[in-house]
Amino acid sequence: MTTRANPLLLLHTWGGDAATWEPALRHLGAGGRHLKALDLPGHGARAAEPFTVDGAVGTALSASASGYEDASGYEDVVGSQDVGGPEDVLRPVDVVGSGLGALVALALAQRHPDRVRSLTLVGFPPAGGAEAARRPADTRAALNRDGAALFARNYVDSTLLSADPAHRDLLRRSMAGTRPEVLIDSLRATLGWTAHARPGPVGLPCQVLRGARDHRVPAAAADALAERLGGGSAVVPGAGHVAYLDEPEAFAAALAAFHDGLRTAPAD
């Protein structure tokens, strides 16, 4: 089955990789929609690379303008999904980013608006203040003390709400396989996101999506960012900070409602 719907570009959470989208893919790809789930630099199959925001935006830009089978992580995650024909390649993408991926998604939309039809930011913006300022140093200390495997287990246990052990294992494995310097560099970039992306109108349809039980992003912060970007906000029932792993079906439903609204909106 093929679809004329715009491709969906999926950018993973901090410490994640393309494979962490697996539980959500069968819901997101309903109707034969084309999907691209990427490994950002330093993550997954690209673990040997350094992480920079510019490099991550370049990765997303290349994926948005290339054949689907060329996107790093795409074939491993999507498997037998139909990759479409040449007429689909130049269609602007609907970009979805969670956490770290939300920063990359926002920067992509602001720097290359011609390649983006709509923008969804999930589990974003990160909390600020003194505690946030200490997080990179505290994270480095915990990695040095506990090692990657235990650090990843503790992070997942304190963050994911999904009771499905397979969902938890996906994030645990990807985080444990991410080099400490990449975790620190990408965390600093996420916490300092306003140095890489503007907290102002993006000039295209956007929404800020938050898990109803996200203890890392306050509802007021998500709503305020949506207003500043000129978009709307929505909630994924039952989900926490990584909504696409906690409640993949409800997450896909929230995205579908947003994207269906774009298709049915009257022309200006």
What is the model's pTM? 0.90
Residue 254 carries which DSSP code?
Answer: H
Cβ partners under 8 Å of residue 233, min gap 6 = 207, 208, 209, 210, 222, 223, 226
Amino acid at the residue 121: L
Residue 96 near residue 183, CB atoms below 8 Å? no
Residue 90 near residue 67, CB atoms below 8 Å? no
Structure token digits, residue 88: 């689909």
pLDDT in tens, 49-66: 999 999 999 999 999 886
Residue 216 near residue 241, CB atoms below 8 Å? yes
Task: State the 10-residue block means of pLDDT for the chain, 268 residues long.
Answer: 70 98 93 90 98 98 68 36 43 95 98 96 94 95 98 98 96 98 98 96 96 96 97 97 98 95 65
CA distances from 76 to 27, 61, 168, 221, 264 (A): 17, 20, 19, 35, 33
Residue 20 carries which DSSP code?
Answer: G
CA distances from 185 to 107, 182, 196 (A): 17, 5, 13
If residue 146 lies in a helix (H) or strand (E), which one and from where to where? helix 129-159
pLDDT in tens, 148-175: 999 999 999 999 999 999 999 999 999 9
